[in-house]
Amino acid sequence: MSWITVEDFRDVYIKALQRGVDFIGSKVTLDQRERTKSAFNSTTIETGNWWIIPYVKRRWNEKITGSADVSYEQYLSDNYFQHEDKIKMLSMGSGICSHEILLAEINPHWSITCVDISDSLIDRARGIAQDKGLHNIEFKAADIYEEEFKEGTYDLVFFHSALHHFDEIDKFIERKVERTLRSGGKVVINEYVGPNRMQYPSKQIAAINEALKLIDKPYRQIFKTSLFKNRYYGSGKLRMQIADPSECVDSESILPVLRSRFKVVEEKPYGGSILMSVLKDISHHFTELNERKRNILDSLFSYEDAYIERNSSDFMFAVYEKP
């Protein structure tokens, strides 16, 4: 566990080039809530992160649903709640609500409530839903820690890349999730479940650096810079806490807590232990593929699969049921 690493200095410099000095300045406050909001408030951020790569998303689909052409939202809709007249779903930390809006489109009989701390993202999501003519989804900007949800109200509580931002997972699940669900209700997560603050073990960092060697130098040029990604050092705890105090604050507790409090319906690990860090800041090279780029990604996929056979997956899609 390191408080400061070489990666931290490089990342601050890269973020200044990519997002401007104003973004760096937004972190100079003692208000943890404001630092967290600054990480998410923009609706127009350009990134070089792995989730922008369509071929990577097809890999996720394959591992979660069994088909590269079927999204997890469609899979969830096809396999759950089809024989019930009305479903009430609560999404906490919903951000711009793209996944929730898709679920609302697929499932007119679902009534979906989205809650997020970011006013700007919630306003943007509300506008998108209105443009689509959706009437079965509502939005609220609020601090979920302070929000009270009626006991036994919801059939489904949903987290997409949100649960790992909440602290004291056991207490949070008990007070905000378990209490809120009806008996037989489901918890659905699509989440980072790896080490707290992304404090990866040395063997994982070594594996990430080996995987970087599979990428040709031109495709390792960092987004919006003239720099090249030649080595990954791992993130220091101090920068993680300054950049976003909520980031992976108790992520490694997610699976143990959910498994202890709920029945496991299904768990689908889909990797990320290698790919997320390898592709960070260079993913823009792979949004459109030629034969060489596709071969590089396939090699990375195989490398991560081999790693996951012996180690844990940092990302998980899962469904749990309240007894």
In this structure, is residue 313 part of a structural domain?
Answer: yes
Render pLDDT for 219-272 as a digit per residue (tens, 0 to 9).
999 999 999 999 999 988 887 888 889 999 999 999 999 999 999 999 999 999
Interatomic CA distance for residues 98 and 96, integer angstroms:
6
Task: Tell me what the pLDDT averaged over the chain comes to.
Answer: 92
CATH number, domain of 277, equals 3.40.50.150
In this structure, is residue 25 part of a structural domain?
Answer: yes
In this structure, is residue 97 part of a structural domain?
Answer: yes
Interatomic CA distance for residues 99 and 76, integer angstroms:
11
In this structure, is residue 1 part of a structural domain?
Answer: no
In this structure, is residue 48 part of a structural domain?
Answer: yes
- Averaged over 92-107, what is the pLDDT? 98
Per the structure block, which two tokens stand in for 133? 């003519």
In this structure, is residue 211 part of a structural domain?
Answer: yes
Interatomic CA distance for residues 125 and 114, integer angstroms:
9
In this structure, is residue 33 part of a structural domain?
Answer: yes
Can you give the residue range of the structural domain that contains 50?
Answer: 6-321
Interatomic CA distance for residues 174 and 18, integer angstroms:
39
Please, which pLDDT band fits residue 35 given cuts at 50, 70 and 90?
A: very low
Find all residues with CB under 8 Å of 289, minimum gap 6, and list them: 55, 297
* pTM metric for this prediction: 0.89
In this structure, is residue 308 part of a structural domain?
Answer: yes
DSSP assignment string, 5-40: -HHHHHHHHHHHHHH-HHHHHTT-SS-HHHHHHHTT
Beta bridge partners of 264: 320
Find all residues with CB under 8 Å of 130, minimum gap 6, and list them: none
Please, which pLDDT band fits residue 11 given cuts at 50, 70 and 90?
A: confident
Q: Indicate left, alpha or beta for 53 from its phi (over 0: left) and psi (-120 to 50: alpha).
A: beta
Give the total number of structural domains in the chain: 1
pLDDT at 67 over 80: yes
Contact 77, 186 (CB under 8 A): no
